[in-house]
Amino acid sequence: HRQADILSDAALSFDFALMNSIFTSMNPLSSDESKAFRNWIKLVQHATPPQMRSVHEQSEAILKSFDSISRDHAALKKPISDVWSASCARGSKYAGYTCGLWELFHIITVGVAEWNSVRSQEGHDSELISSTHAASVLRDYIEHFFGCEVCRENFIQMYDACAFDRCARLSEDSSATSWKYLCIWLFETHNDINVRLLREKAEREGNREPNDALIWAVRWPSKLDCANCWNVDGTFDSEAVYRHLKKEYWPVSNEKGEKRHQEMQLGMASYGDSIHW
């Protein structure tokens, strides 16, 4: 049930953002906002699994009527629910939204690697999504549409400063290593934000600097969930983390090989055969 909850929570946050974060006034989107929104929807369309059917249907509808929707969002479909899973919401709707949005970001980074792997195997190298482009789309989405101002500014500052060696590790090339680094970069960024929020909370409440036990409590995955992800010195194993992220965020068909390949192809055929970045 864990993965089903993740996909559901991510879809709910996608819908919630459409109705509450993209259009914050009655005015049409600006040129920069429109570009960021279009690129975001195209990335979501190609880098989310076929099982997220409602997200694909909504994305397809938005791209078909993008010009009119960017001027007037009344054409958007209303979300059918805003009830996130208990593990994500933790008793608060808005915690559920943020949790689901992070899950969507992680799904997309894994989805870029999955999309590229299949397209590369099929000889469609012109349709590969570079890790640099995907990260840039994510950055622009957060800059224009993420509601928490402090969170937005901190993320943009980290991104523009090439935190976690982003500028060197992500690239425009088509290597599988670069695709995986996209997942690892977001994993490192997310963990850094969790630790920073913990420290800011302690400072706000007049408490001492969090000790190692408290810091480990907000890092993920936990050692219990992924014993191989963490080394004894506190560093992480990139390959083990990538395998965990893929297992956590990307559903795999019960049947091996051809069935999984067909499922990916079905998703691509249904939601667009080409990309124009």
The rounded distance, in Å, linking the Cα atoms of 233 and 112 is 31
The pLDDT assigned to 125 comes to: 83
The pLDDT assigned to 271 comes to: 34
Q: Which of 33-47, 83-97, 148-162 has the lowest mean pLDDT?
A: 83-97
15: phi > 0 → left, psi -120 to 50 → alpha, else beta; which? alpha
The pLDDT assigned to 123 comes to: 84
HEC string of 48-77 equals CCCCCHHHHHHHHHHHHCHHHHHHCHHHCC
pLDDT above 70 coverage of the chain, percent: 88
- Say if residue 223's pLDDT is above 60: yes
Environment class of 145 (CB within 10 Å of its CB; exposed 0-12, middle 13-18, buried 19+): buried
Cα dihedral: 150, 40, 48, 3 (round 10): 20
The pLDDT assigned to 129 comes to: 94
- Say if residue 9's pLDDT is above 80: yes
Environment class of 205 (CB within 10 Å of its CB; exposed 0-12, middle 13-18, buried 19+): exposed
Q: How confident is the model at residue 44 (pLDDT cuts 50, 70, 90)?
A: very high
The pLDDT assigned to 270 comes to: 38
Question: Which 3 state secondary structure label does DSSP give 135?
Answer: helix
Alpha-carbon separation of residue 195 from 49, 107, 218, 220, 254 (angstroms):
30, 22, 7, 11, 37
Question: Which 3 state secondary structure label does DSSP give 154?
Answer: helix
Most confident by average pLDDT, 36-45, 82-91, 111-120: 36-45
- What token pair was written down for 157? 């500052």
Distance spanning both ends of the chain, measured CA to CA:
35
- Say if residue 254's pLDDT is above 60: no
Alpha-carbon separation of residue 239 from 136, 169, 177, 246 (angstroms):
24, 15, 10, 11
Q: How confident is the model at residue 79 (pLDDT cuts 50, 70, 90)?
A: low
pLDDT above 90 coverage of the chain, percent: 57
pLDDT in tens, 85-98: 998 988 776 788 99
Average pLDDT, the chain: 86
The rounded distance, in Å, linking the Cα atoms of 48 and 143 is 21
DSSP conformation class of 90? T
Residue 239: enclosing H or E segment and its boundaries? helix 238-249
- Say if residue 2's pLDDT is above 90: no
pLDDT in tens, 224-252: 999 999 999 989 999 999 999 999 999 98
The answer to whether 94 and 88 have CB atoms below 8 angstroms apart is no
The pLDDT assigned to 122 comes to: 86
| Averaged pLDDT, 171-186 | 87
Name the nearest CA neighbour of 13 among 61, 48, 50, 39: 48
